[in-house]
Amino acid sequence: MTDSSALRHEATVRTIAFVQYPGLTPLDIVGPLQVFSMLSHLVPGYDTVVVGERIEPMATDTPLSLVPSHTFETMPDPYALIVPGGAVPTLAAMADEKLLDRLRTAAVRSEIVGSVCTGSLLLAAAGLLEGRRANSHWMYRSLLARFGAIPVAERWVQDGNVITAAGVSAGIDMALHLVGELAGQDIARKVQLFIEYDPKPPFGPIDWEAADPGQYTSRRRESLQQALANYPALLERLTS
């Protein structure tokens, strides 16, 4: 967080802006969005918005469509910028130079830059993670290194003013962590209480030691080929 950025946002509403684009995973955006929306209710001076290229329904990777509240033009200077992820549409978005340029421009003006799941690949493709520790969905984490980032297997990873969460549900944990940093642990605990976030999976926690990401390499390659068929140079960079 830079001094100039802090001065720019001082005494103004701190806007948490989530980036929406077609085909993302709803929980990537809705989970942390709910956390920050609750922060806005509990603490004056925070606002939560969703920004996209246009204010119109956009498909997700479920039957649910979502509509941004703002465009990039009407929300050029957010306090925090959070990029959700997804599957094939997110991988394809790595070649969307217009979106990547939107991220670069907003990131320069933001005091916090974050991502959920494969949203970190978009930050990486935009050149925003070079030399930084970062995480993504476990199946795609290693691809971060192709963009000069340092892959780290943690629930969320904070490096300077950039914070990247692991896959999907990890966005809720990351958001609660940020609420604790912004407003204190007491407020973060209240948010956790009000959204009743107390996970107890019916089949217990994931056994990461037994998980073998290597067995999904072919599936990852197929997804990349589907997403980037028209961008052979980027496809080669990520699959060679």
Q: Which residues 6+ apart lie within 8 Å of 26 measured at CB? A: 60, 61, 62, 64, 66
Cα gap 215→206, rounded to integer Å: 17
* In the predicted structure, residue 5 carries a pLDDT above the cut 50: no
Give which of 144, 197, 208 is closest to 175, Cα–Cα.
Answer: 197
- What does pLDDT average to over the chain? 94
| pLDDT band (50, 70, 90) for residue 51 | very high
Residues paired with residue 156 on neighbouring β-strands, in sequence order? 165
Q: Does domain 3-196 have CATH number 3.40.50.880?
A: yes
Q: Does residue 194 carry a catalytic annotation?
A: no
The catalytic position among 117, 144, 172, 235 is: 117
Provide the residue ranges of all domains of the chain, joining segments of one domain with +.
3-196
CB 99 within 8 A of CB 122: yes
| pLDDT band (50, 70, 90) for residue 76 | confident
* Rounded percentage of the chain residues whose pLDDT exceeds 70: 95
3 state DSSP class of 86: strand
pTM check: above 0.75: yes
Query: How is residue 69 annotated by DSSP?
Result: S
Give which of 204, 199, 36 is closest to 116, Cα–Cα.
Answer: 36
